[in-house]
Chain A
């Protein structure tokens, strides 16, 4: 495998995150490195402006900085969007461990606020038995009011290397041969393991 710059890696993480229906593992190390590089470049740019360096060079660096910033922000933002959408679901499953510390803090506060808001505006005025934020009524066995990401959806993905014969469903009736660098439309649920292991890229 060729060595990839952090920007390339961040780009891949961003693409995967955008294309996957559920929240993926937070790329802590990568984000940390990207932040450091961005900070370094910001400092360099400050120096440049003090020394009145060549405008052309400064503007090129500025563009590079803007591109990295966009990527990082968009990555963080798409995650926040997912957290907001599937707040309760994430907090109740082991998806919680995929969040960064800050994201966990954000999610906790978000849940609190949401609970308080719903309680005050609607739930407290409903008859007994219908006052739960999670259940339609007290007779529901499960939490049936919790939005969940739709894992049955189909995603476009590109294979990085040969995966070989890959089983798409539980019964083993559907098998595709995943060849390197090919584009497929597959059900997310069946390939989530490959996405997690970084063997396949979503596009």
Chain B
């Protein structure tokens, strides 16, 4: 039907993101002699024992698995640097520290496949996990600031995997805000009261003939609309069903005062908790 689109079409799967990360270049030290290889994705080598050379990550992992080389961990993957990043990450709640775009996937691949090449591997692993947690918490708190007037969100230094995780929710939230804040959705408060009740019953779809653009403040009329729906709001019920205003999860977007609109404007948005529950994948990633 018109207006609907497949919500999954534009989402990369985690293996696809990893595929992209595997083209990042790392340094290896081969222990064999091998001629240069001329591949579709580039020319690498020749390889001599004990002489470092640069190859894409997938090639490095392939050689490593066969015991033909050791991988030099990238500069940022050492305890010193990561500790520094984690500290900075904690100190500045408003911005993300610069890390490679694929740092999540790269560190996973390297930690899984080249554990003996990374010094202080346990420390490195836990530091990276901490950094991921801190960063994702920032993303979550950042979501609270999205409002109807949000036309653009700038996420400097957010990494590929983080983008992929937050994408479904972020895009749907922004879309809903955009849709409900557009002038076509704002109706005459006085003359269309009866009509509005009907419209509201039908949910977010408003046919163009019901629409009248007025000079009234978008906020006030949206709030009026919200009131009508408050009594039998399915979102409210859902919210109660999954623990009400409880604070058992770290996601507190739906508890803030200034997002009233978010809860009531669109059934399809629900509260973030419900969305995260319904997308079981997401919640497992977050934990």
Contact = CB atoms under 8 A, between A and B. Distances in A.
A152 B160 contact: no
Contacts of A184: 152-155
Contacts, number: 130
Interface in B228-283: none
Given A7-B40, A64-B41, A156-B163, A187 B178 contact: yes
Interface in A126-183: 144-150, 152-156, 168-169, 174, 176, 182-183
B62 A63 contact: yes
A75 B250 CA distance: 38
Interface string A77-96: 01001100100000000000
Interface size class of A (residues with CB under 8 A): 35 or more
Interface string A2-31: 000111100100010011110000000000
Contacts of B42: 5, 7
Contacts of A183: 154-158, 163
Contacts of A187: 151-152, 178
Interface stretch (B109-117, B167-175, B196-204, B209-217): B167-175
Interface string B69-94: 00000000000000000000000000
Contact of A152 (B23, B153, B163, B179): B179
Interface of A: 5-8, 11, 15, 18-21, 34, 37-38, 41, 54, 56-57, 59-61, 63-65, 67-68, 70, 74, 78, 81-82, 85, 144-150, 152-156, 168-169, 174, 176, 182-187, 203
Given A176-B151, A183-B155, 11 more contacts: A7-B41, A18-B12, A64-B37, A145-B1, A149-B5, A154-B170, A154-B175, A169-B151, A184-B154, A185-B154, A203-B160
